[in-house]
């Protein structure tokens, strides 16, 4: 029995396929990886975070992007769709299509059982390659838990953990506050 060889895609080939696809895929090291849809909890948390940030940033020179906007991470070559990204100042795009950002200041990922190790590990390693990123936030969906990683300098990050509904998270890079009670508002913990 023979196995099919893997087809190596260039970033340009990936983008051509992705821009016409009905479903989103990430790209890394010549391969495309389909992204599954999120759970209702995942969706509610993402919407709560996006809404809270948008409300605080709407009169500032910052934009909040949802997971419909792609992120290119160089030099690793990763193309991915974070749940939430914030860009302050002029957004920079990978090309003239203006659908792939390259300069977020804050990235937020909502963790699922299947992605939490990747999001907290290798994906965060990739995100650290972006000099624009000042803060990285991961949010659990099965219990109240938020991890805030704040860049101290090029090679040092400070981790602060939050796990109580009455706690607030200050995102200093964009001068915004996220309340855990708001992040988890209307999340059905029994589901």
Predicted confidence (pLDDT) per residue in 25-81, tens digit: 999 999 999 887 788 999 999 999 999 999 999 999 999 999 999 999 988 899 999
Give the SS3 label for residue 76: coil
Instruction: Give pTM, 2 decimals.
Output: 0.94
Longest Cα pair distance anywhere in the chain, in angstroms?
62
Domains of the chain in sequence order: 39-183 (3.90.1570.10)
What per-residue confidence (pLDDT) applies to 2? Answer: 47
What per-residue confidence (pLDDT) applies to 113? Answer: 87
Q: Would the pLDDT of 1 be above 80?
A: no
C-alpha to C-alpha distances, 177 to 3, 55, 71, 154, nearest whole angstrom: 52, 11, 24, 24
Q: Is the peptide bond before 149 cis (omega within 30 degrees of 0)?
A: no
Report the C-alpha gap between 64 and 88 in whole angstroms: 9
pLDDT, one tens digit per residue, over 7-37 is 789 999 999 999 999 999 999 999 999 887 7
Q: Taking the chain, what is the end-to-end CA distance rounded to the nearest angstrom?
A: 44
pLDDT, one tens digit per residue, over 160-177 is 999 999 999 999 999 999
Specify the pairing of strand 84-88 against strand 106-110.
antiparallel
């Amino acid at each position: 029995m023979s196995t099919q060889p893997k087809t190596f895609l260039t970033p340009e080939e990936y983008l051509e396929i992705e821009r016409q696809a009905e479903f989103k895929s990430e790209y890394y090291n010549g391969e495309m990886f389909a992204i599954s849809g999120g759970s209702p909890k995942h969706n509610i948390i993402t919407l709560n975070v996006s809404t809270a940030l948008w409300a605080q940033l709407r009169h500032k020179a910052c934009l909040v992007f949802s997971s419909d906007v792609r992120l290119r991470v160089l030099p690793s070559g990763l193309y991915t769709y974070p749940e939430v990204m914030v860009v302050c100042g002029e957004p920079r795009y990978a090309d003239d299509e203006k659908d792939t950002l390259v300069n977020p200041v804050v990235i937020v990922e909502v963790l699922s059982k299947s992605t939490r190790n990747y999001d907290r590990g290798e994906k965060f390693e990739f995100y650290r390659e972006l000099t624009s990123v000042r803060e990285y936030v991961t949010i659990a969906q099965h219990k109240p838990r938020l991890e805030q990683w704040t860049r101290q300098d090029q090679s040092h990050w400070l981790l602060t953990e939050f796990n109580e509904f009455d706690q607030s998270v200050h995102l200093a890079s964009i001068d915004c506050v996220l309340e855990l009670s708001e992040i988890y508002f209307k999340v059905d913990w029994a589901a």
